[in-house]
Structure 1
């Protein structure tokens, strides 16, 4: 099975995601920002991407836009995991191609349920 790519500038958040996802049976690859994620995506294809919105170098909106612009990756599910609950940001994330939205702090069971729905 392809890995889940987690993208967050917080090492502790990446660690929590990795622990939850590995317990659920997924393989995890981590990137600290959108730019690092795109470098990995040049030669790899994930089962899904879980990304924060607010990050240095390339934010979540930029990452999702760049991912959706690549035909090879256009169908990869992208979940936004953020502290943001602003409806305008949700709409913007949807507009650039986000598949779903999860608010931090996340519930590992809900995350697992959402992933089961979007990863094929």
Structure 2
């Protein structure tokens, strides 16, 4: 076991997550959301808007797509919703979508922008994005976008809160 840990330091966490995915842990888990936007204020606004809309969030945010991609590759598995800004300063969001699409584990990736741009939306979809949202992202816009995906949906809990789930 020590040799295995030396090979992969997160092996115990990975194994535990894989077992939970296979057999469950008695509690339905929500799908994590990863937001990539070069403006940290947008991270706060996004999270606040969804919490105000009643969403229970497992949320992480990144200002650089490289850091988000490294995080996605380190994850043990399980579906994830990735949302990326199309206006990332100095970065190529289309290439990020293409690379991130391979590590969603049954999740989805969506792109968002400050303006409607059919050409950019088409390129996002070709790269692997499931949807395109015009800012600001709200609970209603996210719900409408997810309704068109086949992998993720929204569950309403007994207390009225909502969370992302795998379909």
Shorter-chain TM-score tier: 0.7 to 0.9
Instruction: Indicate the SS of the match to 1:19.
Output: helix
Q: Which moved more, 1:91-100 or 1:77-86?
A: 77-86
8 A contact 1:21–1:112 mirrored in 2: no
Q: Which residue, 116, 119, 144 being the options, matches 1:88?
A: 119
Larger Rg: 2
Q: Which residue, 122, 130, 133 being the options, matches 1:99?
A: 130
CA distance in 1, matches of 2:57, 2:106: 19
* Deviation of 1:65 (Å): 0.7
* Deviation of 1:108 (Å): 3.0
Q: Which residue, 42, 50, 67 being the options, matches 2:100?
A: 67
Check if 1:21 corresponds to 2:50. yes
Please give the per-residue CA displacement for 1:5-64, whole angstroms capped at 9, x wherever unaligned: 011001111111122334411210111121111011111245200110121453321111
Q: What's 2:38 paired with?
A: 9
Number of aligned residue pairs: give it: 118
CA distance in 1, matches of 2:61, 2:142: 17
TM-score (norm 2): 0.62
Q: Which residue, 54, 71, 77 being the options, matches 2:108?
A: 77
8 A contact 2:49–2:138 mirrored in 1: no
CA distance in 2, matches of 1:106, 1:41: 22
CA distance in 2, matches of 1:57, 1:36: 14
TM-align CA RMSD: 2.1
* Deviation of 1:113 (Å): 4.2
TM-score (norm 1): 0.83
Q: Which residue, 66, 81, 90 being the options, matches 1:48?
A: 81
Q: 1:112 to 1:96 in 2, by over 3 A?
A: same
